[in-house]
Amino acid sequence: MRTLDSNTSLRIAVQKSGRLTDKTLKLLEGIGLKFDDYKRSLLVRCLNFDVELLLIRDDDIPEYVEDGVCDLGFVGANVVEEDQADVTILRGLNYGVCRLSLAAPKEDKLKSAEDFSGKKIATSYPGITGRFFESRNIDVQVITLSGSVEIAPRLEIADAISDLVSTGGTLKANGLEEVIKIFDSETQLVKTNKPLSNGKSELIEKILQRIEGYQKAANSRYIMMNAPEKAVPRIKEIIPSLKSPTVMPLADNGMVAVHTVIPLTTFWDVMEQLKEVGATGIVMLPIESMIV
Ligand code: PRT
Ligand code: ZN
């Protein structure tokens, strides 16, 4: 029987069930790792790499990676920062994006960090919150709660809160106003600082490169269009492509087809400008992966 001590495969910690689970598993599958049914077990074998997933609570991930029980972990920066875990952050992953913010009842009209002086602040992040006030020499009383922090002011357990915010809907629904953002967070890929055995470093490098390609692809679009041949010099100026666009002649005299890759964020601007120079039939396609 294999035990958690026989750490010969590259072991990756993933949140078992929560906000990060689906996106992390989708990312791992997106970079070509195949897994057995992960709903049945806490330790899941990868079918095509010497990798296994350990599915655990997100709060446990930094410690498991710090101790070398897992070699890699996918976890919110908020959790890593709260624990001050001794791990190496390999990459931000652009999902699970949120912020830790101080918030107080709207009617209190708090504006600055100093306005929290002497107040009771409820939070699940006593570390980050405490350090924020300590570094500013502001005295506050931090009250640690494990959940439902947003109702603490109404229950008169606290005057204010420090909690994760993404849309702001929860604060609003509880009559609270976001006053100061104290920490920006996203999911991170973290690596143990313990020595790695059996070619694990090479495998980690490979995984990292694939993640880079996956992220680039997610942020890019393949576009195709027809355009007058004489517009090609202008099109080349408009398209901030990685390499020069592919230009192919069409049966229709004086017309060409142009194919290229553009950053998703520029898509609408680029498309409007392309239409102005005579491009027609502009088609945008998602890209599954890009070798970079
Ligand atoms: O069971 P386990 O311990 O593994 O999970 P968990 O319940 O502790 O964590 P989970 O699944 O809720 O969140 C996992 C991670 O997702 C967090 O550590 C963050 O890195 C990230 N994340 C991103 C969030 C949010 N967005 C978020 N909005 N985590 C929590 N929230 C909560 C927040 O605490 C508040 O209650 O959502 C509410 C606010 O959301 P808005 O949209 O109303 O502002
Ligand atoms: Zn948790």
Residue 288 confidence (pLDDT): 82
Residue 133 confidence (pLDDT): 98
Ligand 1 atom closest to Cα of residue 76: 20
Residue 232 has pLDDT above 70, yes or no: yes
Domains and CATH numbers, the chain: 10-95+187-217 (3.40.190.10), 98-185 (3.40.190.10), 220-286 (3.30.70.120)
* Residue-averaged pLDDT of the chain: 93
Per DSSP bridges, beta strands 246-249 and 255-263 are: antiparallel
Mean pLDDT along residues 18-39:
91
* Residue 12 vs residue 245, higher pLDDT: 12
Residue 237 backbone phi and psi in degrees, to 5: -70, -35
pLDDT level of residue 276 (50, 70, 90 thresholds): very high
Minimum CA distance residue for ligand 1 atom 18: 76
Q: How is 213-274 classified by DSSP, letter by letter?
A: HHHHHHTEEEEEEEEEGGGHHHHHHH---SSPPEEEE-SSTTEEEEEEEEEGGGHHHHHHHH
Residue 241 has pLDDT above 90, yes or no: no
- Closest residue by Cα to residue 14 from 66, 68, 76: 76
Dump pLDDT digits (tens) for 109-137: 999 999 999 999 999 999 999 999 999 99
Q: How far is ligand 1, taken at its centre, from the CA of residue 167, in Å?
A: 11
Residue 5 has pLDDT above 70, yes or no: no
Minimum CA distance residue for ligand 1 atom 34: 164
Ligand 1: which residues within 6 Å by Cβ?
Answer: 15, 18-20, 57-59, 76, 78-79, 96, 98, 163-170, 185
% of residues, the chain, pLDDT over 90: 77
- Closest residue by Cα to residue 41 from 33, 28, 53: 53
pLDDT level of residue 1 (50, 70, 90 thresholds): very low
Ligand 1 atom closest to Cα of residue 79: 18
Minimum CA distance residue for ligand 1 atom 42: 167
Comparing 15-19, 38-42, 261-265, the range with the smallest average pLDDT is: 38-42
Residue 4 confidence (pLDDT): 52
Nearest listed ligand to the Cα of residue 19: 1
Ligand 1 atom closest to Cα of residue 59: 3
CA distance 89 to 291: 23
Mean pLDDT along residues 174-178:
98
Task: Identify residues whose C-beta is under 5 A from ligand 2, the ion.
Answer: 58-59
Minimum CA distance residue for ligand 1 atom 39: 165
* Residue 217 vs residue 108, higher pLDDT: 108
Residue 221 has pLDDT above 50, yes or no: yes
Query: What are the tokens at 129?
Result: 């919150």
Residue 2 confidence (pLDDT): 44
Q: How far is ligand 2, taken at its centre, from the CA of residue 133, in Å?
A: 23
Minimum CA distance residue for ligand 1 atom 20: 76
Ligand 1 atom closest to Cα of residue 148: 36
Q: How far is ligand 2, taken at its centre, from the CA of residue 278, in Å?
A: 53
Ligand 1 atom closest to Cα of residue 170: 43
Mean pLDDT along residues 145-171:
97
**Is this prediction's pTM over 0.85?**
yes
Residue 7 confidence (pLDDT): 63
Residues 6+ apart with CB under 8 A from 119: 104, 140, 141, 158, 159, 160
